[in-house]
Every structure is written in structure tokens, then in C-alpha cells.
Amino acid sequence: MTAAPRQSNTHEDDARAVALALAGDHSGHEALMAAHRGAVFRMAHGYTGSEADALDVTQDAFVAAFLGLHRYDPARPFRAWVLRVALNKCRDWTRRRAVRRLFAFALPIEHAAQVPDTQPDPEAALASRQEVARIHAAVAALPDALKEPLLLCAMEGVAQEQAATILGISRKAVETRLYRARQKLSHLVEG
């Protein structure tokens, strides 16, 4: 797995875009989306394992970020802030998915056929997926505590110190979780 390229926008570009967005200028929103939507989408895709769900999470993350833009601290990198918002939206997605599954089992059997199954058939998925899809599925299967630092550091190129700040844990905890995530990921991909 290779790290994503570093963001090309500077902190100053982001600060200008935030100022424009806060002033009501839509070009500020557009600039922030253009600079950071790829990183948010990649993290959401790694988290959900589904392009469609990742698009939904990405949209939710930017809507929430733009609604809460007045709470953004311009002294910090915008990417770290928006990735934190996206991470929260990924967690919301996981909770909603669990609730949907609960309700799917609670329906009378005659209505169960109308509830879409969000999980692919394991045999069909295993038979038809290419290596990249297998890796995405394996990443999505990791526990959140391991998946989150892996997505931030390995896929988005966020430094361990910054990942620690985003996740609210120590840098050493990020390092340990990355090690465990890589070990578990290699077992999931090989197995």
C-alpha cells in the first residue's frame, strides 16, 4: 500500500479559502472541496469498503464541515480538521448501519424481502474481487481502533503526531495501532 501524495495546497491557501467561505463566497467552498475531497473520499472508502457509501459519507462530511466552519481553528491544518469531521461521519455511518441491520431482523418475514442486504454475498465477492478490492475489504474489516490510524497515516500520509491529535490518543498509541493493523491486515489479505 503506498501513501497518498502530500497535499499540494499550502496552509495559507486553505486559510484564504476558509476566509472566503466564511464571508459567503462559494469559491472558498469550492477551493476547499477541490483540495481535500480526494483525501476525505479515500478515508471514507477505506472505512466503508464501498464507493457508494464513501460518496455519501464524503458529502455528509463536507456539509458538516461547512456548517461548522466557524469552529475551525485556522492555526491548524484544514486537512486534519476535515479528516476529523469525516472520521466522525464514518463512525455515524457504522452506527446507522448497525441500526439498519437490527431493524432488518426485526421485520416480519413477509417484509424482509423488501429490505436491501448491504453486504455482498461472501462467496461471490471472494470469487469476483480483484486484489485492490480484497485489500479495501480487509481494511474495512479491521476494528475501528486499528483502521483509523492506518487510514490516516498509511493512506493519507498524515504524520503520526498529527494522527494522534486527530484521534485524541498518544503518538505511541498510534505507532502501536499501526503495527497491529499492518499485522492483522496481512493475515486478512493472505487468509
DSSP for 65-117, written as a single string:
HHHTGGG--TTS-HHHHHHHHHHHHHHHHHHHHHHHHHHHHHS-HHHHTTSPP
Span 8-119: which CATH code?
1.10.1740.10
In this prediction, residue 53 carries a pLDDT of: 92
Dihedral angle sign, alpha carbons of residues 162, 167, 171, 174: negative
Nearest-angstrom CA–CA distance, 126 and 189: 11
Exposed (0-12), middle (13-18) or buried (19+): which is 92, by Cβ within 10 Å? Answer: middle
- In this prediction, residue 4 carries a pLDDT of 42
Q: Cα separation of 67 and 50, whole Å?
A: 25
CA 182 – CA 179 distance, rounded (Å): 5
- How long is the chain? 191
Q: Which residues of the chain does CATH 1.10.1740.10 include?
A: 8-119
Q: Cβ neighbours of residue 140 under 8 Å, at least 6 residues apart?
A: 46, 47, 48, 49, 147
| Identity at 99, one-letter amino acid code | V
Give me 189's grid cell.
Answer: 489479505
- The torsion angles phi and psi of 11, rounded to 5 degrees, stand at -60, -35
* pLDDT, position 8: 45
**What pLDDT is stored for residue 157 in this prediction?**
87
Given a cut of 70, the residues of the chain with pLDDT beneath it are 1-9, 99-130, 132, 191
CATH architecture of 120-191: Orthogonal Bundle (1.10)
Task: Report pLDDT digits (tens) over 42-63.
Answer: 999 998 889 999 999 999 999 9
| Ranges of CATH 1.10.10.10 domains, the chain | 120-191
